[in-house]
Amino acid sequence: MRIIRTKGGNLDSIVKEIRGGREVFDEGILGTAREIVEDVAARGDEALFFHTERLDGFRLDAKNVEVSQEEMSEALAGLTETEEEVIAFAAKRIRTYHERQMEGLKGDWRWDEGEGSFLGQVVRPLKRVGIYAPGGLASYPSTVLMAAVPARTAGVEEIILATPSRPGALAPAMARAAQISGIKRIFRVGGAQAIAALAHGTTTVPRVDKIVGPGNAYVAAAKKLVFGQVAIDMIAGPSEILIIADAEADPALIAADLLGQAEHDELAVALVATPSEPLAKAVAGEVARQLARLPRAQTAGAALKGQGAVIITADLDEAFELANRFAPEHLELLVAEPHRELSRVKNAGCVFLGAASPEAVGDYTAGSNHILPTCGTARYASPLGVYDFLKRISVVGLSPRAFQRYGRKAADFAKLEGFAGHAASIAIRDRL
Amino acid sequence: MRIIRTKGGNLDSIVKEIRGGREVFDEGILGTAREIVEDVAARGDEALFFHTERLDGFRLDAKNVEVSQEEMSEALAGLTETEEEVIAFAAKRIRTYHERQMEGLKGDWRWDEGEGSFLGQVVRPLKRVGIYAPGGLASYPSTVLMAAVPARTAGVEEIILATPSRPGALAPAMARAAQISGIKRIFRVGGAQAIAALAHGTTTVPRVDKIVGPGNAYVAAAKKLVFGQVAIDMIAGPSEILIIADAEADPALIAADLLGQAEHDELAVALVATPSEPLAKAVAGEVARQLARLPRAQTAGAALKGQGAVIITADLDEAFELANRFAPEHLELLVAEPHRELSRVKNAGCVFLGAASPEAVGDYTAGSNHILPTCGTARYASPLGVYDFLKRISVVGLSPRAFQRYGRKAADFAKLEGFAGHAASIAIRDRL
């Protein structure tokens, strides 16, 4: 694990170096995804089944592309006690968190101007949402919960899950996660072809209003391509953690959290920013020691070699400045008074305050969402939340007197921009 | 103007027919935009100036690409009294509306669990936002207000305007709209090259966190291409109105509002849905009569011919059902009790209640935003608002006791998904 020292003012070059020159999409992936998306848009089910067979290796048809009630029951019968317990536990926590989020997000509002006149907005849930979740060996029931529970809390009527599986091979934990979060329909398709099917609709797969959930590079590319046709949540990149630590922080905890991040995949990013050189060295030592015991040591080791670093900053201020420029997906504050320092955080997906709040809790049972902005997009993007499943409608409800008072002024502005028809639609209301 | 009659259950085919098979992006436009975006990403200013000269016909350099204080003062000196008055009036209304919107959108929230443990979210404004506004003959100061005022209300520090103009030729009304809404820097670039410059940054143009504002097809295509690199607001299509009217509605007002919409451009959509056949005929007659007096009669006539229709529905219920499927940008309710019918509206950008609330007021001085979802995207998208300039950060602040109670459960879920490193990062905290 590298140790990097900031030298006044090179924060941006450190951010750039760690993120590398990596393009989110290389042209090859985008091109391949485009061909698949266009084919499904044009040929519907036929293309969906064709690409599933070509890429996933199993043949589907209109009868088995959707998971049946029977298969669902069979899958659920295979659920272990531990699976049932942890899924139900996590689902409840996530539901409670997102219910609070709904309360925190006041809905409709009115600006009453008197005389029976008002303006405002009303909030409505989306009608039909598609959730994408990877299937097969790397299937994550936690992600199904994280995507579906907020959709349900927001009031979405129809939640559809697309996750690839051979007929008869739905994982019990995936079945239970879908069931507990209110998903009624599951389609066993994946990849760019699944995204295209959800965006355009086919004979069997209904068109949705929004697609959420992470996937591989082809799924991400397909989501970018269908954006505009449907809404999408965000384009997920490799997972990231940045830990701000002071000299008193425990290097063993820091190392464990870095490794938890690094085991995701070889592109995962695991960083520490600290003004303490002794801590930096202790963390590097702990990482080496703990890495040896990790089942996924190879993956984690590659990630740490590529995107792992302890960055020694001039002081804690500079560590926060670096974090804000990096805009990490996960930010742990292992400093003396983490609650007080929260106000210094401008850009991050989720902030974890203090030693008792490790990132892994946020991944599963804290209740907060683990679908978070990556690749620096926390500059402008939010965690997945109930707001992703709601839209606003503006309302203009003028009384005749309010119209006279400020509605008529609109005609002057319309003339200024050359819209005589707009002005005429105001003038014709002189009689009101 | 066509009169169409619904025949039980053909609502979707009517929606499809009116929207046509039109693709939002044809491949030619996307390809051209892609070449420009990639060139600006690679060559920066050099490419920005090259494409501006090639497409806009004037040569820029690093000295004059940004509007100077001197030019700003000169432009403002040319402002007419009417321009000053209507811009100030509209800006104040828009500001007041969006201040109410901020209040309606509660910000930070906490879920306190006792024992010093809490979860929640904090809200932060984006730092730097780029606004795109068309320039030249079709320059719209109202759009500058609609994009910049909410950004400023949300607390965005730096608002940058990109709008093409020859050096020395900034329109006074554009200058004033920029000034009154807190824009400090104006770059005189347009088209796909301007979007690319804002997304990637060049030597002269700073990279922004989000790009908002409407433009032509190339601007829309470029926004789609840079999405992911930066946030964008939405991809704007032709403007639309749908008017739901009962038998008592005034056909002259309806016709005026349709024409106000139709004069935008030849692709504008102007529809009426009514159960009353006499009204349908009266509207068609009024449209023909008023069209003759309109300066932009040719444009409006072409739009009405292409996408104009009065649709006779079985009853008002069906008219609302049609509107919800169409998801119009603007929806006028010219019915007996418009306030009561608001709850039936599921999909629309902005709803106008009753005869005293014509769409043209919403375009300029109502205060509500006129940057609205088009092309049916009101199924999932909202009007531009303060929420477009805010992002959320999740916060997990567990106490050691809360960690013991439900944090540790995360280790079981991690094991279920095969993440031993995650589980280890929980186990190592047993000492807490």
Q: Which residue is catalytic, options B329, B332, B341, B359?
A: B329
Residue B266: partners with Cβ closer than 8 Å, 6 or more residues away: B299, B302, B303, B306
Interface of B with A in 121-140 (CB under 8 A): 121-122, 124, 126-127, 140
Q: What is the pLDDT of residues B27-72, one digit of tens each?
A: 777 778 778 888 888 888 888 888 888 887 888 888 887 778 888 7
Q: What is the mean pLDDT of residues A214-229?
A: 87
Strand A231-232: give its sheet, edge to edge: A185-187, A158-162, A128-132, A210-212, A231-232
**DSSP state string for B208-276:** -SEEE----HHHHHHHHHHBTTBEE-------EEEEEE-TTS-HHHHHHHHHHHHTS-TT-EEEEEES-
Say if the Cβ atoms of B394 and A346 lie within 8 Å: no
Q: What is the pLDDT of residues A16-45, one digit of tens each?
A: 777 765 555 667 777 787 788 888 888 888
3-state secondary structure of B283: helix
Point out the residue among A368, A385, A416 whose CB comes nearest to the CB of B396.
A368
Q: What is the mean pLDDT of residues A403-419?
A: 87
The whole-angstrom separation of Cα A288 and Cα A286 is: 5
pLDDT score for B75: 79
Point out the residue among A86, A228, A230 whose CB comes nearest to the CB of B409.
A86
Helix B316-326 and helix B11-19: axis angle, to 10°? 50
Q: Could you list the pLDDT tens digit for every one of the 432 residues in chain B?
A: 888 888 877 888 878 777 765 555 667 777 787 788 888 888 888 888 888 888 878 888 888 877 788 887 887 888 888 878 877 777 777 777 667 666 667 667 777 777 788 888 888 999 999 999 988 767 889 999 999 988 988 889 999 999 988 888 888 888 988 988 888 899 988 889 999 999 988 888 899 999 999 988 888 888 988 888 899 998 878 899 999 999 999 999 999 999 999 999 898 999 999 999 999 999 999 999 999 999 999 999 999 999 999 999 999 999 999 999 999 999 999 999 999 999 999 999 999 999 999 999 999 988 889 999 998 999 999 999 888 998 999 999 999 988 988 888 889 889 888 899 999 999 999 877
Beta bridge partners of B352: A396, B332
Reply yes or no on whether the pLDDT at A172 is more than 60: yes
**Cα four-point dihedral sign A413, A419, A420, A421:** negative
A409 touches chain B (CB under 8 A): yes
Q: Which residue is catalytic, options B200, B264, B330, B370?
A: B330
CA of B329: which chain A residue's CA is closest?
Answer: A393
Catalytic, A51? Answer no
CA distances to A104, A205, B298 from B292, rounded to whole Å, are 53, 48, 9
All residues of chain A having their beta carbon less than 8 Å from the beta carbon of residue B259 are 421, 424-425
In degrees, rounded to 5, the angle at the alpha carbon of residue B321 between the alpha carbons of residues B319 and B322 is 65
Considering only residues A407 and A27, tell me which one the structure prediction assigns the higher pLDDT. Answer: A407
Catalytic, B329? Answer yes
Say if CB A197 and CB A222 are below 8 A apart.
no
Say if CB B381 and CB A231 are below 8 A apart.
yes
Cβ-based burial of A1 (10 A; exposed 0-12, middle 13-18, buried ≥19): buried
Reply yes or no on whether the pLDDT at A343 is more than 90: yes
Q: Which residue is catalytic, options A71, A318, A329, A359?
A: A329
The whole-angstrom separation of Cα B291 and Cα B301 is: 7
Q: What is the pLDDT of residues B97-120, one digit of tens each?
A: 667 666 667 667 777 777 788 888
Predicted TM-score (pTM) of the model is 0.89
CA distances to A243, B108, B403 from B116, rounded to whole Å, are 22, 18, 11
Amino acid residing at A267: L
A292 touches chain B (CB under 8 A): no
Reply yes or no on whether the pLDDT at A61 is more than 90: no
Say if the Cβ atoms of B428 and A256 lie within 8 Å: yes
pLDDT score for A358: 95
Point out the residue among B227, B231, B420 whose CB comes nearest to the CB of A296.
B420
Say if CB B200 and CB B117 are below 8 A apart.
no
All residues of chain A having their beta carbon less than 8 Å from the beta carbon of residue B410 are 360-361, 363-366
